Structures are given as C-alpha cells and as structure tokens.
Amino acid sequence: MSPGTRTITVFVTLVTAGLLTVAAVAAVPRALRYHSGLFSGYGSGGRLLHVLSGLDLTDDQKTQIKAILKDEGPRIEPLADQVIRTKKALFDAVHTQQFDEPAVRSAAATAASAETEMAVERARTVSRLRGLLTPDQQAQIETIRRGFEERIEKRIGLTRSIWREHAADFIDAL
C-alpha cells in the first residue's frame, strides 16, 4: 500500500469513526427519552411524567410526586420486564414453524396476566398521583386524556377504513 493510499484510508476511517460516534451520542438521548426508564410503560417516553410537568405543580406537589414515583419504581420495573418477556414469548409461539395451539394459548394467557399486573400498578400509581392534584390540575389532566382518547379513536377509524378500502389490493399484491 502506498503512503498516499494509507493516508487516505486512515483519514476515511477516522472520519467514519467520528460520524458513528456523533450518531451514537445523538441517538442515546432519543432512545432514553422514548423507550426506557421505569415509567416508560406510561406511554411513549413516560407520557405521564410529561403531562405532570405541564401542570404548574407546587414544590410540595413535586416532592410528593417524586416520592410516589420512587416508591412505585421497584414494583413497576420487574413488571415491565415481565411484560416484555411474555410478549416476546407470545410472539415466538405465534411464529413457530409448526402450529401449536396449546403453546400459543399458554403464552397469550401469560402475557395477559403480565399486562393485567402492570395495568393494576399503573392504576394504583395514577390514583396516588391524582390525589395530590388540585381540582384545576385534575381538569387539565382530564382534558388531555380526552384528547388522547379522541386521537386513538381517529387512528383506529382511519386504519379500519383504509383496510376496508384496500384489503383486496393488499391481498392481490401478494
């Protein structure tokens, strides 16, 4: 390898490594913001925490909320892990080479049980947090909840109408 080629190779390698490092550093906060943490199960990026931060909380409320979240964290973390594991097991059972109905039913029941436990813990946490809020703050949360529900219904309706309109096209494209 000539000295010029070696210099170019080293330069390209360093630039590539630098770009990969910058991309990795930029991706970490995004990954943490959207998919991780003890309370990521409360929506993308901890929607509950985002909603709470927009309620003009008093310092006393913030302290009490932090205490509740720290108290709930040790219960939620293993439940979140269990939900992930059971969903993966269900996915694996559905996508095996050989259809095994008892395995699918068992995996689905286990996943449902894990989701149930997580839902109960979420409800407990939300109830505790709502108990700290003023009537005005609770009204704000209810407005946000209704807006979220409307967006979900709109997306479900849109998905259903697209499927009805284009199901034959999707199938024919196979």
Q: 128 and 65: one domain?
A: yes
Q: What's the whole-number mean pLDDT along residues 30-48?
A: 48
Percent of the chain with pLDDT over 70: 74
Is residue 24 scored above 90 in pLDDT?
A: no
Quick one: pLDDT at residue 167? 80
The more confident residue out of 23 and 84 is: 84
In a domain, 174, yes or no: no
Q: 99 and 141: one domain?
A: no
Average pLDDT, the chain: 81
The number of domains in the chain is 2
Interatomic CA distance for residues 84 and 130, integer angstroms: 27
Interatomic CA distance for residues 110 and 107, integer angstroms: 5
Quick one: pLDDT at residue 15? 60
The more confident residue out of 139 and 13 is: 139
Q: What's the whole-number mean pLDDT along residues 58-82?
A: 91
Element (H, E) at 77: helix 59-94
Among 38, 22, 46, 55, CA closest to 133: 55
Q: 115 and 154: one domain?
A: no
